Amino acid sequence: MYGPKNTEQVLVPVRMDLNTCFRFTCGKGLECYTKCCKDPTIMITPYDVICMKNHLGISSDEFLREYTTLGNIAGSELPVPVIKLLEGKEKSCPFLGESGCTIYEARPVSCRYYPIGAGLFHNKDAKMDENFFAFIKEDYCLGHDMGEEMTVQQWRENQGVIPYDEVNSTWTEIILKRKSMGPFINLPEKTLQMFFMGCYNIDSFRRFIFNSKFLEIYIIPDERAEQIKEDDVALLYLAYDWLKSTLYGEGLLEIKEMVISAEEAGV
């Protein structure tokens, strides 16, 4: 989810697992401090949007409009928000201040992971998805081989990554299933809009639920319907169920009336 600021630089990632040890530090005492915040490519996950927009006290509509531009997830046509950089020579992240990140407590998961890149691939032999990690060493970064030694798992805990990975795991699963369908199946524009709204524009998805026929079509228990009025994470999980049901026919949401139009079901 993180791209180097120098796109001509070739990175050779070192494969890691949760128990791999490394040493890295970052801070104002290093000459390279905040260089990774200038001209990066930072793609935003669903949980990033929730944390960042709530930290800023704005809606997901406002956050996406003000701070992101549209990109695509590698190997698919699925859309993903990308942090919109400031105009100027350095093309800095809009959240970079004089003393560092101005939203550090709500920084994106890719920033939390750095200098580790995280990914997921489908192991056909084992019939399961496997996590993998790669150590990214960029020439300008001086923090490598410094600080206390720790494992990848300890780094994840220290940087507050685990809740992000837990909430984003189903989103990743949806992406992998789309990729497994192959390049010869094209998703219609309306489906891509569904994906974007459900995964990223959580406040728009809430309006869609309560201002459309959604609750007349799908059986949503009263307790869950009440919870999603205020709880963004609970709402995101409902969006996941809706997307998996409509995109892949998994039937995670029960339909009240079996004879409905595709348009009414959001397909």
In the prediction, which pLDDT does 263 show?
Answer: 59
Q: How many separate domains does the chain show?
A: 2
In the prediction, which pLDDT does 74 show?
Answer: 87
Q: Are residues 100 and 226 in the same domain?
A: no
**Close Cβ partners of 137 (under 8 Å, ≥ 6 residues apart):** 11, 14, 115, 144
Global pTM?
Answer: 0.88
ω into residue 46 within 30 of 0, thus cis? Answer: no
Domain limit, last residue, from 119, 143, 172: 172
Question: Is residue 221 situated within a structural domain?
Answer: yes
Q: Are residues 60 and 138 in the same domain?
A: yes
**Average pLDDT per consecutive 10 residues, the chain (267 residues; last block may be shorter):** 47 74 93 93 97 98 98 93 92 94 97 85 47 84 93 96 96 93 87 97 98 96 97 98 95 77 58
Question: Is residue 180 situated within a structural domain?
Answer: no
Q: Are residues 38 and 114 in the same domain?
A: yes
Q: Are residues 150 and 231 in the same domain?
A: no
Question: Is residue 182 situated within a structural domain?
Answer: no
Question: Is residue 145 situated within a structural domain?
Answer: yes
Domain limit, last residue, from 122, 137, 172: 172
Question: Is residue 67 situated within a structural domain?
Answer: yes
Q: Are residues 61 and 125 in the same domain?
A: yes
Q: Which residues pair with 16 in a beta bridge?
A: 133
Measured distance CA(137)–CA(140) in Å, rounded: 9
Q: Which residues pair with 69 in a beta bridge?
A: 82
Residue with tokens 């990729």: 179
Q: Are residues 137 and 11 in the same domain?
A: yes
**Close Cβ partners of 178 (under 8 Å, ≥ 6 residues apart):** 76, 78, 187, 247
In the prediction, which pLDDT does 267 show?
Answer: 56
Measured distance CA(198)–CA(174) in Å, rounded: 12
Q: Are residues 145 and 32 in the same domain?
A: yes
CA 159, chain centre distance (Å): 16
Measured distance CA(185)–CA(193) in Å, rounded: 17
Q: Are residues 164 and 216 in the same domain?
A: no
Question: Is residue 75 situated within a structural domain?
Answer: yes
Q: Are residues 213 and 116 in the same domain?
A: no
**Close Cβ partners of 220 (under 8 Å, ≥ 6 residues apart):** 238, 253
CB distance 251 to 204 below 8 Å: no
Measured distance CA(98)–CA(116) in Å, rounded: 25
Domain limit, last residue, from 115, 146, 172: 172
Question: Is residue 210 situated within a structural domain?
Answer: yes
Question: Nearest Cα to 101, choosing from 47, 30, 27?
Answer: 27
Question: Is residue 181 situated within a structural domain?
Answer: no
CB distance 143 to 26 below 8 Å: yes
Q: Are residues 210 and 163 in the same domain?
A: no
Measured distance CA(114)–CA(236) in Å, rounded: 25
CB distance 257 to 217 below 8 Å: yes
- Contacts for 115-123: CB closer than 8 Å, 24+ residues apart: 115/24, 115/141, 115/143, 115/144, 116/16, 116/152, 116/155, 117/1, 117/2, 117/13, 118/1, 118/165, 120/172, 120/176, 121/176, 122/176, 122/180
Expressed as residue numbers, the domain containing 260 is 187-265
Q: Are residues 20 and 141 in the same domain?
A: yes
Q: Are residues 159 and 227 in the same domain?
A: no
Residue with tokens 């949007």: 49
